[in-house]
Structure 1
Amino acid sequence: MKIIAINGSHRKGKNTAALLNNVLEEAATLGATTELLELTDFNIKFCISCNKCLGKPQCSITDDDMAAVGNKLLAADGIVLGSPVYWSNVTALMKNFMDRTRYLHMIKNLLAGKVGAAITNSGLRHGGQEATLKIMEYFLQGHGLHLADTRDPEGTIMSAGVTGSLMADFKDDKVIWRRSATDDELTVTACKQLGRNMVKLIEQLNK
């Protein structure tokens, strides 16, 4: 079982990567092979809307890294996307990645049947996390993936998804900031539950 994470943050190895790693580390404890892909490491050009992928499942752009990333998507059993919130939306890096997966979708959903999930985080407590999460989940559903959630089937419902925040509190007219998204125990708990749920759903689908 292989689960990969795609980090759309422009800041490699920071908060979004830390949250994704919590998901992957928990999945690894249950036997999954994992890999984190930082989009900042890849040269992925813009979609030029040539529409050649309407005729065959292949992108006309061949002089960048998208084919290598696409092959990793095809080889994975689970895909988790991560993006910080930029104006209640994903980052430009994540959106460009999404656009360039069009060749995996137009003729046939080549990623269909895999398990998908998404995480996001923002500076503010209510900084557009839910909208950003839904954008990534809608993208995954469009590709035919089965979405995993953060619900603990044997515990209390604590979160409807991984929607982290660096804003810890507000007291005496001052914001109290967390130093890291992983300082929020609820967010970390949700990440770990998501990792467990992804493994469980992949196992159920592969029976």
Structure 2
Amino acid sequence: MKILMVNGSANQRGCTYTALSEIGAAAQELGAEWEIFQLGGQPMRDCIGCNQCSGKGKCVFADGGVNEFLEKAAEADGFVFGTPVYYAHPSGRLLSFLDRAFYASSGNSPFAGKPGAAVASARRAGTTASLDVVNKYFGITSMPVVSGTYWNMVHGRSPEEVRQDLEGLQTMRNIGRNMVWMIEQLKKAPMPEQERGTFTNFIRPAGQ
């Protein structure tokens, strides 16, 4: 069992990393393997909707680590996407990365039927709004959403402060345990076949 996580912070060992590591450690106690995919501090190209990825299963642009991540995603059993909060919103780099990854793989998704969790770290506020945004990727990709025992968030301006957020860390550990449990249950009962092929636009040319 493999859990693949994404650290949407440019700080590779900061607050978001601390939260993800707590999830991973709890999952590992139950026999799961885990990996944190670091987005790092380099500029992240946004999805430009060029549709050149259609049918290819990968982004036409080789930068940003998107295609490397998609290869790993195909072998993963569950996902955690972590983000810092700056202005009551997920990090721009995480959203650009996820837009490209999910758009490029929409024809043959490595995510469908696999559970996902969103995690946010903040000094104070904006976490729930950020979680709402990231959770939408799960909702459009047939991904069961993994919950904890409170909102999936930690608080602190540094890893040291996050480690003082005892309830937040408790929530992270419960996410890890719930992730392993859900993966095990889904292996017993695979998701049903999904209908595909219908694609409509809200605006149609005159006469159609």
TM range (shorter): 0.7 to 0.9
1:162 counterpart residue number: 152
User: Are the aligned partners of 2:85 and 2:126 in contact in 1 as well (CA < 8 Å)?
Assistant: yes
Q: Deviations over 1:72-123 (max 9, x none)?
A: 1121001001001121111121011112111112x24331001100110111
* Deviation at residue 62 of structure 1 after TM alignment: 3.3
Correspondences of 1:86-125 after superposition (within 5 Å): 86-101=86-101, 102-105=103-106, 107-124=107-124
1:128 counterpart residue number: 126
Q: Secondary structure at the match of 1:52?
A: coil
TM-score by length of 2: 0.82
User: Are the aligned partners of 2:58 and 2:70 in contact in 1 as well (CA < 8 Å)?
Assistant: no
* Deviation at residue 11 of structure 1 after TM alignment: 1.2
Separation in 1 of the partners of 2:146 and 2:159?
27
Q: List gaps (5 residues or longer) in structure 1.
A: 152-158, 168-176
1:195 counterpart residue number: 176
Separation in 2 of the partners of 1:43 and 1:123?
24
Q: Deviations over 1:161-189 (max 9, x none)?
A: 2222228xxxxxxxxx9942121110010
Q: Say which is worse superposed, 187-196 or 48-57, in terms of deviation.
A: 48-57
1:171 counterpart residue number: none
User: Are the aligned partners of 2:7 and 2:39 in contact in 1 as well (CA < 8 Å)?
Assistant: yes
User: Are the aligned partners of 2:28 and 2:34 in contact in 1 as well (CA < 8 Å)?
Assistant: yes
Select the residue among 133, 137, 143 that pairs with 1:145: 143
User: Are the aligned partners of 2:148 and 2:172 in contact in 1 as well (CA < 8 Å)?
Assistant: yes
TM-score by length of 1: 0.82
User: Are the aligned partners of 1:119 and 1:163 in contact in 2 as well (CA < 8 Å)?
Assistant: yes
**Number of equivalent positions:** 187
Counting strand residues as a fraction of each chain, which structure ranks higher?
1
* Deviation at residue 59 of structure 1 after TM alignment: 2.3
Runs (4+) of structure 1 exceeding 4 A deviation are 41-44
Q: Secondary structure at the match of 2:118?
A: strand
1:52 counterpart residue number: 52
Separation in 1 of the partners of 2:65 and 2:123?
31
Separation in 2 of the partners of 1:178 and 1:110?
32
Q: Secondary structure at the match of 1:117?
A: strand
2:19 corresponds to 1:11: no
1:21 counterpart residue number: 21
Select the residue among 156, 167, 190 that pairs with 1:186: 167
Q: List gaps (5 residues or longer) in structure 2.
A: 189-208
